[in-house]
Amino acid sequence: MNTIGFALDRGSAVPLYMQLYNHFSALISSGKIQNGEKLPSRRRLMEELKLSKSTVDNAYHLLEKDGFVVSRSRSGFFARSASSLSAYTEEQDFYSNPGIVINMSHQGIDIRSMPTEALSRLFRNYSYDMPSLFSFGHKYGEEELRRAISKALSELHGIEVPYDRIIIGAGTEYLLEQLVHVFPKSTVFGFENPTFARSYVAVRNSAEKVELLNSSPDAFPQQALIESGIDVLYVACDGTFPFNRILSQDQRKFILDWAGMGENRYVIEAAFDSDFCSGAGSALISRDSDHVIYIGTFSRSIASSVKISYMVVPKKIKKLFNNILPYYTCLADRICQQAIAEYIKSGKYLRHTERLKKIYEKKRSLLLSEIDKSPLKKIVKVSNNVGGTYFILTIDKDASENSLRTAAAKNGVKLMPLSSGLISPSSLLPKNSFIMGFGELDDEQIKDAVKRLSEAWAT
C-alpha cells in the first residue's frame, strides 16, 4: 500500500485509534486493500499522521484481533480479507444467502442416522430415576462416562488409558482454554497453517504466545517445527482439517521424537474425525502417554448439538489441573453424560460409528461417481480422499477463488475454500481448491450439487 489517503478528524468524539481502525477495516472489507497486501508500517503512520506509538499499536492490535490483518515477525501487518476468524468479512454473506439450498460443509453429519430415539429414552429415564443428577457432579465429569470413554477408545482405536486421566468438558473450545492455563505463561503453542479456526481461537484467546507452521496438503512441516520455538503442538494425525490428510508412520514418529526431546514439550492430538478415516494410523497417545494430550468429541459421532468433549492427559498434566485449577468445574450436562455413558456401555455406540463410516463411504463414492459422469471431470482434480465427510476438489480453470465460490453460491451451493482455514497468508496451498463436504447430504442432494456446480463452473 503506497499511500495512506486518510485524514484524521481530531475534533471528533471518535478516538483516533478507532478512526484508524475504521479506515483500514473498511478498505479491507471492500477489497480496496487486497488480501495479503502490506499495510503502512507503524513508524510511517506515526510520522505522517502525527500519532503516538500507542495510538497506532491500539488500532493495529484491534485490526488483528478482529481478523482484518495478520502480523508477520519483523515484516509488518498484512490484510486478511477472507478470514474465517472475523465476523465482519464477506464470507458471512455466503453463509446467510437465502438462495443457498445445498450446504457442502465439512462439519455436516448424517442427522438422519443419529440415535435420537435411543438417547431420548435414556435422557427420560435418567431424568426421572436419578434426580441427584440435577446437582453438581465431579469436577472432571461423571465417572461412568469417563470409564465408558476409556472402553470406547480401547475398542475403536486400541488406546489403553485409565479413566482417571480423562477430563470431560462442555465442548472442545472450553477444554482447550482450560488446558492453556495449566502451562506457564511463557509456553509457546503451535498450529499448522491452515488449521481448524475454532481450536486456534480458543488457544490464542488464552495463551500469550502462538506460533504458526505453514503447511501443505501432502506434507507435515517437519523442518519448520524443528526451527520453531513451539512447546505444545496442536495436530490431527487422521483427517487433518482442512487438508483431510493422514500422517504417515514416519511423520508420527517424527512428532513424537520432537516431543520427547524436551521435558515440557507436549502434543495435543485432535481426533475429531479419526472414527471415519480409512487407513487411519495408530494414535500418538498409544505410543507415548507422557507427552500426548488426546482430545475428542461426541459432536461428530452422535450429534452436532451434543457439546460434550474429553481430554486424555498425562499424569503430570492431571496434577497441574489439580493444583492450578482447583475450582475447575465440569459444565457438561450430567444427564447427557450419563445417557452417553450408557449408550457406549450397551455396545450401541460402537455399532453406530461403524454404521456411520459405511454411510459416509457410500456417500463419498456416489459424489465421486457423479463428478466423474459430469462436465466437471475435465476441469477438476480430487485429492486427499481418505475418508471422513469431505475431500478436496481443485478446479483447473482461469478464474479466481472468489469468482468460483460466487458462481457456486449463485447456483445455490455453499462451499468453503481451502484457504478459509488460513490464519496467516501462505503460498503452500493449491489455487482454487475447495472442501467438498457431503456428510449431511442425501443421495438426491449429492446429485443436485454436482449438477449445480457443473452449471456454475463448466459452462
Which spans in 111-215 are helix H?
Answer: 116-129, 143-157, 172-181, 197-204
* 129 found inside a domain: yes
In a domain, 312, yes or no: yes
Is residue 86 situated within a structural domain? no
Residues 129 and 233 in one domain: yes
Q: Would you state the cell numbers that stand for residue 293, as one nine-digit string?
A: 494430550
Secondary structure of 1-38 as H, E, C letters? CCCCCCCCCCCCCCCHHHHHHHHHHHHHHHCCCCCCCE
Copy the grid coordinates of residue 30.
471492500
Q: Does 377 share its domain with 294?
A: no
Are 268 and 240 within 8 A, CB to CB? no
Domain identity same for 293 and 273: yes
pLDDT tens digits, 1-26? 565 677 888 888 888 988 898 888 88
User: 205 and 329: one domain?
Assistant: yes
Could you tell me if 104 and 438 are in contact, meaning their C-beta atoms sit under 8 angstroms apart? yes
**Residues 221 and 318 occupy one common structural domain:** yes
Query: Residue 41 has what DSSP assignment?
Result: P
- Give the CATH number of the domain where residue 215 resides: 3.40.640.10
85 in any annotated domain: no
Q: What angle do CA 37, 43, 49 make, to 5 degrees?
A: 95
Domain range holding 58? 16-79
Map residue 327 onto helix, strand or coil: coil
Q: Is residue 1 situated within a structural domain? A: no
Rounded CA separation 267/292 (Å): 5
Strands 309-312 and 292-297: antiparallel
User: What are the backbone dihedrals phi and psi of residue 245, each rounded to the nearest 5 degrees, phi first?
Assistant: -105, 145
Distance CA 114, CA 296 (A): 18
Q: Which of 301, 321, 346 is the last residue in one of the domains?
A: 346
Q: What is the CATH number of the domain that holds 407?
A: 3.90.1150.10
**Contact by Cβ (8 Å): 33, 1:** yes
**If 0-12 CB within 10 Å is exposed, 13-18 middle and 19+ buried, where does residue 279 land?**
exposed
71 lies in some domain = yes
Q: Are residues 294 and 416 in the same domain?
A: no
CB atoms within 10 A of CB 428: 14
Q: Cell 454473506 maps to which residue?
A: 93
Do 297 and 399 lie in one domain? The reply is no
Residues 120 and 100 in one domain: no
Q: Same structural domain for residues 300 and 397? A: no
pTM of the model: 0.78
Report the CATH number that the domain containing residue 31 is assigned in CATH: 1.10.10.10
CA separation for the pair 308, 298 (Å, rounded):
6
* 84 within domain boundaries: no
Write down which residue in 289, 314, 346 finishes a domain.
Answer: 346
In a domain, 441, yes or no: yes
Together in a domain, 271 and 201: yes
Q: How many domains does the chain have?
A: 3
Model pLDDT, residue 97: 58
- Mark whether 207 and 74 lie in a shared domain: no
Residues 202 and 321 in one domain: yes
Strands (E), 253-334: 266-270, 292-297, 309-312
Report how far residue 68's alpha carbon sits from residue 108's, in angstroms, rounded to the nearest whole number: 27
pLDDT tens, per residue, the chain with 459 residues: 565 677 888 888 888 988 898 888 888 877 788 777 889 998 999 998 999 999 998 888 888 766 778 777 677 888 875 444 443 333 444 445 567 889 998 888 888 888 777 778 887 877 777 777 777 788 999 999 999 999 999 998 899 999 999 999 999 999 999 999 999 999 999 999 999 988 999 999 899 899 999 999 988 999 999 999 999 999 999 988 899 999 999 999 999 999 999 889 999 999 988 888 877 778 999 999 999 999 999 988 887 778 899 999 999 999 999 999 888 888 888 888 999 999 999 999 999 999 999 999 999 999 999 999 999 999 999 998 888 899 999 999 988 888 899 899 999 999 999 988 888 878 888 999 999 999 999 999 999 999 999 999 987
